[in-house]
Structures are given as structure tokens and as C-alpha cells.
Amino acid sequence: MEHRFQVDLRGIVDLLSHHLYASPRVYARELLQNATDAITARREFDAAAGPGRIVVEPLPDGALRVHDNGIGLTEPEVHLFLASVGRTSKRDDLGFARQDFLGQFGIGLLSCFMVADAVEVVSRSAKGGPAVRWTGHADGRYTTETDDTARAEVGTTVTLRPRTDTRHWLVPDRVGELVRFYAHLLDVDVELVAPDAAPVRLTDERAPWEIDHPSPEERHAALIDYGRQLLGTRPMDVIDLRVPEAGLVGVGFVLPSASAVGQGGHRVYLKRMLLSEDASKVVPEWAFFIRCVVDTAVLRPTASREALYEDDLLSSVRQSLGEQIRGWLLDLSVNHPDRLSAFLRVHHLGVKALAVRDDEMLRLVDAWLPFETSRGAMPLRVFRRGLSMVRYVETVDEFRSLAAIASAAGTPLVNAGYAYDSEILQRLRRVDPTIQVRRLDPGELAARLDPLPPGQEAAAAGFLETARTVLADLGCKPLLRQFDPVTVPALYIVGQQAANQDSLRRSIEASDELWSDVLSAFDDVEVDHRPELVFNWRHPLVRRIAADPSGPAVRHAVEALYGQALLAGHHPLRAVDTAALNRSFLALLDRAFTGPPNRWTGDGPTEEKS
Ligand SMILES: Nc1ncnc2c1ncn2[C@@H]1O[C@H](COP(=O)(O)OP(=O)(O)OP(=O)(O)O)[C@@H](O)[C@H]1O
């Protein structure tokens, strides 16, 4: 047997009026929308009808009336459309939403029950018949009566009587504010007629982007000013936006300060009625630095009318707006590189965050964003000219200690020590498949430094031997090379394998017996991966020390150079390192001041001469 669903009307009214919309304020939007649609319908029905007009009239007793001179409703239409939830006069015969109307779902009027227990509609139809009065209640009851004296002219008046807890929504100031908020762009006259106050027109003549100005410069200045009012701060630039297939026009403001990468914050009007001040997904994710203000005739609203419905059309609009914003960036890069630099200075972090995922942003970063390199600050595209391999280091400290040396050794370096840098470098092949990108292994750098000039190795052998003994206690081994800059006497290098071995050994020390046995199996004890202290033969001090390898101060000199190299490379100091540094520092000072002890302080410390 077939049955029909039973609908609890009170439940449905409650659900739609209290849970669909984010705030009771939308009642104003729904009333204005209905009045505007009625005016559109009247123009279609009777081309000779005069201009449309809506009057919003807060009454002294706290009620609110909204009058329009639209098409009105006949008595049968009142039953059909006002009394059936979900029934609308704004769809075509096939049930599709009609382009020329704002409404489409047949539920908007229910929003009035958020601020009123009863809604009264008095209407006279342009199609003829007597005036009719309909009164609906929040519990789902309604009454209808014809009353030809209720209204003389064609059109409709809706009256809301507030509950005690909702009176504040209907006071004149609030009403004026809400009407302007939602409807200031409507191309119908909307007037506020409040008790004891002169009527006020609430709609603007034109949208800011539609206003004619004597020159493009003045238009630009006016739009920037509009952006300042909206954003509360002066936008960096303004871009005209237009997508004819979606009947979309408007502007995009370039934010003047860095913002979190996000997709919201756009102001969207739908057929000139504000849909949302915080619409999302209007532009592609990478265009996070843009805030749009657009009016569209074709995009679909969700039923709450507070967001855009995600469909193919929205996605093609997004793409098209993305093209226009990209065009703006491209124009900056070609014609105004200084403005592009200013833009990147502000938004570099967000641009970099997206370059990790978006090839377009990656291209922009590659071409324009300056990176710190051993050749100076420059975009990667410039840096890699003539190189087949881009080498980078992953920390700022590593860059500071290695850049000059690597560069002198013919290995230019990029500092990828800041947020997103190494990810960007690893993705670089997406924009240039011919390039190799590799993280510099400092161990590999040591291999690229020049050996000593022929014949000098023997002269340095004694020194190397002493250094080997001293450094063995510190878990390090010496190497003698000649490299630039000559001002660096020694370089402490932890190769990738040394770093791996070091962290493995630390884990073994920290783990329990079972694990330490398992981990030990990985420890390649046979191969000596210890960090290296590379002495620079070009440095005069190194050569002077090496000239007398058996001299008493050589051990201290080696420890001191070791400590200095650790400090210069910002390497962490272990307790043994600090001890070596202190020991050598004091011993060398002691040697420098060789006079007799001060007679007032006794004998002083005994000089240790080793
Ligand atoms: N001021 C008015 N003048 C003439 N008809 C009206 C007026 N207000 C409402 N109506 C009629 O009542 C119907 C229902 O209105 P309601 O606001 O609930 O839904 P809608 O406007 O059709 O769609 P939506 O839910 O998208 O707003 C409308 O389709 C229209 O036929």
C-alpha cells in the first residue's frame, strides 16, 4: 500500500527559519529580494509599468512594513506560493531557476519568523482581482481573506510584528543599516521612511567599479579609496575583474600586508544583492593575496544564500579570475618590476608556501623571488644560468660558514635555510627539467678543495701528525688543504656520513641493551667517517704553526683553531669541545704574557709548559 510522508509543519518552519540561516538579520535580505523580484516580474508583465520602488517603513509601535509596487499576488497565487513551503513562482515550466529573479527555493519568507511570530502580506495583483490579505504564523497556521479596501494600488506590503526578544532587529537604525548592507547596489530605489525623520534613499546609483571618472588615474584612485574603506587599510593595488559567461564584474584588491594563506574574505553580490562578505573559493588558492568584490548574475547560491554553490561554473569562474590575476602579476613582472618586488617583499612567505604545491607560483618564485646565494641575492633563474647543478645547504649557519669557501672552490651555493626553501629547490625541475638540484654534502666540499702545492706536503707532515693526536681525543681528524678565502684558518666539516654515524652513535648510547645491539649492527665501524678539521695552508698563521711542529704551543694552537672553527660554523659545542677551547685559550694567553707574576698577588698560577 502506498502512503505519503507526513510533514510536521511547525518542525519544518522551525528548521528552516532558525537553523538554515546564520543570523536573523537575513530577514531584511529576503524581504528586499521578494520585493525586487516582484518589480522585475511586473516589468515583464507590463512593459509600460513605471519605475520600481520599495519603501521600508519601521512603525512607531515596533512593527516593520515593506511596500513594493511589484506584480502583486492574486488570491489563488497566495494559496499556491505563500502557503506552500518550497513552492516558488520563480522557476520556469521545467523547474529551472529563472535568471532574472533573485529567489528560487520558495523558503525565503520563512526567515521572517526568526524576528516575528506573525507575517502579514497584503497584495493586489497586476493581473486583476481583489486585494488579498494573508497572515502566516510560526506554528504553520495561516489565514487568507480578500479585502478590496486593504490596498488600492498594485503591489505588496509585508508587515512583521516582532516578539519582545526580537524588537531590536526592527528599529529604524538597524533596519536602515541592514538594507544598506544587503541592498545598496540594487538598481531599484529603496527608501527608508522612519517616524519623525525625512525619507532616506538607501541604494547607490552605481557600483564603485561602474562609476565613470575623468581619467584612468582618477578611477584607480577612487577604487583604491573604496578598497581602503572595505579593508580598513590602503590596498597595494586594484585589478579589474570580469567573467562575461558568469555575468561577473568587480574588482580585486591586492592586500598590503602578509596574510595567512586562506580562501575566504571575498565580498560577493548576486544580482546586486549581497550574498556574503566572506565568500570563499572565488579565486584559486594561490591568489591568497587578493580580496575580491564582485557582482555575478549567474553563479548559484546555496539555499541559505550565504555562500556560492560549488559547481562547474564556479570552478570555471575561479579559473578565469586566476588568469586575470596571473595577467596582473605578469604585467608587473614585465612593466613594473619594482612593484613586483614590493609585492614579493610583502607576500613572499605565502607565495613560497604555494610554490611548494603550485607550479605557477613556483615559476614566479623561480623568476622573481631573490634567494640568498654565494653569488649574492638573486632569483634562482638568474643563479642557475650556466650551471647544470644547483647545490644548496639547509641551514643558515651552514651557508654562512661554507658559502665563501664553496664559491671559491667553484661550487656556488644557495642558502635554503628559510621556510619552504629546500622544498622549492627540490621542485625546481618542474620548471626546468634540465637542471640537477642537490643538497651540498660538506664532506664532498672537502674533496673539492685544492691539495697542498707539490713538495710542501713533507714540510707539513710533522704538524699533521701532532694535529692527528690532538684531534683524535676530540673525535675529529685533520686535513691540510689550500682554499679561499685566506682569512679562514680552519674549517670544521661534518660530512653527511659523519653526521649519520654521529646520530647513530648517539642513539646507541641512549638506547637500552637490546636496541643498542640492533643499532650497532648498522654502525660501519670499519670506515672512518669522523668530522674533519681542514687547515687552510694559505693562511699565514697555519704555515707558521706548521713550521715548528714540535714546538710547545702547537697542541694549544690546534685546539684553539678547532674551537674557533666550531664557533665560526655555529656547530654545537660538547663539554670536551668547551674544555679544549678554554684550555687552549688560557694557555696561549699565558704564553703571550710571559713576564714575572705581579708582586702584590703572590706567585700566581704556575705556568704549564708542555
Ligand atoms: N513582495 C512579493 N510580491 C509578490 N510575490 C511575493 C512577494 N513575496 C513573496 N512572494 C511570493 O511568494 C513566493 C515565496 O517566497 P519566498 O521568499 O518564500 O521564496 P522565493 O523568493 O520564491 O525563493 P527563495 O527561497 O530563494 O527566496 C515567491 O515565489 C513569490 O511568488
State in Å: Cα 143 to ligand 1 middle. Answer: 17
pLDDT over 90, % of the chain: 64
Give the C-alpha separation, 434 to 389, whole Å.
9
Model pTM?
A: 0.74
Q: Given ligand 1 and candidates 15, 32, 37, which is best to mutate, with the most ligand atoms within 8 Å of its CB?
A: 37
pLDDT at position 609: 45
Residue 567's pLDDT band, with cuts at 50, 70 and 90, is very high
State in Å: Cα 174 to ligand 1 middle. Answer: 23
pLDDT at position 85: 73
Please state the ipTM of this predicted complex: 0.98
Any atom of ligand 1 within 6 Å of the Cβ of 491: no
State in Å: Cα 103 to ligand 1 middle. Answer: 7
Any atom of ligand 1 within 6 Å of the Cβ of 107: yes
User: What long-range pairs does 357-364 form, CB within 8 A, spacing at least 24?
Assistant: 358/285, 358/286, 359/430, 359/431, 360/286, 360/326, 361/286, 362/424, 362/427, 362/428, 362/430, 362/431, 363/431, 364/329, 364/333
User: Residue 248 CB: number of other CB atoms within 10 A?
Assistant: 22
Of ligand 1's atoms, which has the minimum distance to the CA of residue 70?
3
Nearest-CA residue for atom 1 of ligand 1: 35
Residue 500: helix, strand or coil by DSSP? Answer: helix
The contacts of residue 350 (CB under 8 Å, 6+ apart) are 258, 259, 260, 261, 288, 289
pLDDT at position 503: 67
Does residue 252 contact residue 283 with C-beta atoms inside 8 Å?
yes
Residue 562 has pLDDT above 60, yes or no: yes
Residue 346's pLDDT band, with cuts at 50, 70 and 90, is very high
Any atom of ligand 1 within 6 Å of the Cβ of 70: yes
State in Å: Cα 106 to ligand 1 middle. Answer: 6
Any atom of ligand 1 within 6 Å of the Cβ of 21: no
489 upstream amide cis, omega within 30 of 0: no
* Mean local confidence (pLDDT), 378-407: 92
Mean pLDDT of the residues in the chain: 89
State in Å: Cα 34 to ligand 1 middle. Answer: 5
pLDDT at position 263: 67
Of ligand 1's atoms, which has the minimum distance to the CA of residue 305?
26
pLDDT at position 479: 94
DSSP category for residue 155: E
State in Å: Cα 93 to ligand 1 middle. Answer: 17
Of ligand 1's atoms, which has the minimum distance to the CA of residue 88?
29
**What are the tens digits of pLDDT across the range 124-145?**
999 999 999 999 988 888 899 9
pLDDT at position 420: 94
Q: Given ligand 1 and candidates 12, 77, 88, which is best to mutate, with the most ligand atoms within 8 Å of its CB?
A: 88
Nearest-CA residue for atom 21 of ligand 1: 103
pLDDT at position 204: 93
pLDDT at position 360: 83
Any atom of ligand 1 within 6 Å of the Cβ of 104: yes
Nearest-CA residue for atom 6 of ligand 1: 34
pLDDT at position 608: 46
Helix, strand, coil in percent for the chain, rounding step 5: 45, 20, 40
pLDDT at position 610: 43
* Mean local confidence (pLDDT), 86-91: 77
Laid out side by side, the sheet with 389-393 consists of 376-379, 370-373, 413-415, 389-393, 436-439
Any atom of ligand 1 within 6 Å of the Cβ of 68: yes
Any atom of ligand 1 within 6 Å of the Cβ of 38: yes
